[in-house]
Amino acid sequence: MESEKSQETVEKESETVIDFQCELSDLVYGMDVVKRSLGSQRDMPILSGVRLQVKEDTLELASTNLEMSTICKIPVSNSGEDGTLILKGDVLAKLTQRMEEDGQVRIKYDPEQDEQVELSHSQITLDLFRMAAEDYPEIPSPPAEPICKLNKEEFRKAIKQTTFAALKARETTRLSLTGVETILEGGQLKMVATNGYRMALKTIQPAESNGEREFLIEAGALSEWDRILSQIETETLSVYASEEEIFFAAGDIIFGDKLIMEEFPEFEGVVPRDNDLPLHLHRSQLLETLRRAQITASEESGAVLFKSEEGGSHVNISSSSPEKGEFEEEIELLEVNKGDIEVSFKAEFLIDALRRMKTENVTFWLSDSDTAGLLEPTEDEEDFIYVCMPISI
Segments making up each domain of the chain, as ranges:
7-135, 148-258, 272-388
Cα 290 to the center of its chain, rounded Å:
26
Q: Which one is predicted more confidently, 189 or 1?
A: 189
What's the rounded mean pLDDT across residues 204-215? 93
Give the count of alpha carbons within 13 A of 304, CB side only: 26
Check residue 2 and give its pLDDT.
45
Check residue 16 and give its pLDDT.
87
pLDDT single digits (tens) 103-112: 999 999 998 8
- In percent, the amount of the chain with pLDDT more than 90 equals 87
DSSP letters, 153-171, are HHHHHHHHTTGGGSPPGGG
Give the count of alpha carbons within 13 A of 112, CB side only: 2
Helix (H, G, I), strand (E, B) or coil at 270: helix
Check residue 8 and give its pLDDT.
56
Amino acid identity at 187: G
d(CA 335, CA 340): 14
What's the rounded mean pLDDT across residues 359-373? 95
Q: Is the pTM of this model over 0.85?
A: yes
Residue 380 reports pLDDT greater than 90:
no
From the candidate CATH numbers 3.10.150.10, 3.40.50.300, 3.10.530.10, 3.30.300.130, the one assigned to the domain spanning 148-258: 3.10.150.10
Asked if 237 and 155 count as a contact pair (C-beta separation under 8 A), the reply is: yes
CATH of domain 272-388: 3.10.150.10
Q: How confident is the model at residue 334 (pLDDT cuts 50, 70, 90)?
A: very high
Q: What is the mean pLDDT of the chain?
A: 93
Residue 12 reports pLDDT greater than 70:
no
- In percent, the amount of the chain with pLDDT more than 70 equals 96
Asked if 229 and 250 count as a contact pair (C-beta separation under 8 A), the reply is: yes
Residue 3 reports pLDDT greater than 80:
no
Check residue 1 and give its pLDDT.
47
Strand 188-194 and strand 179-185: the pairing is: antiparallel
* Per-residue CA distances from 289 to 67, 211, 310, 318, 351 (Å): 41, 45, 22, 9, 10
What's the rounded mean pLDDT across residues 285-289? 98
Among left, alpha and beta (phi > 0; psi -120 to 50; other), residue 259 is beta
pLDDT single digits (tens) 212-264: 999 999 999 999 999 999 999 999 999 999 999 999 999 999 999 999 999 99
Residue 5 reports pLDDT greater than 70:
no
Residue 119 reports pLDDT greater than 60:
yes
Same fold, 7-135 and 272-388: yes
Check residue 309 and give its pLDDT.
94
What's the rounded mean pLDDT across residues 114-142? 92
Q: How confident is the model at residue 102 (pLDDT cuts 50, 70, 90)?
A: confident
Question: CB pairs under 8 A, 24+ apart, for 116-119?
Answer: 117/18, 117/85, 117/87, 119/92, 119/95
Helix (H, G, I), strand (E, B) or coil at 208: strand
Check residue 112 and give its pLDDT.
85
* Per-residue CA distances from 290 to 130, 285, 294, 297, 369 (Å): 54, 9, 6, 10, 18
Q: In what order do the strands lie in the sheet with 314-321?
A: 325-332, 314-321, 303-308, 341-346
The CATH class that applies to domain 7-135 reads alpha beta
* Helix segments in 152-276, DSSP class H: 152-160, 219-229
273: CB partners within 8 A, 6+ apart: none
d(CA 381, CA 387): 15
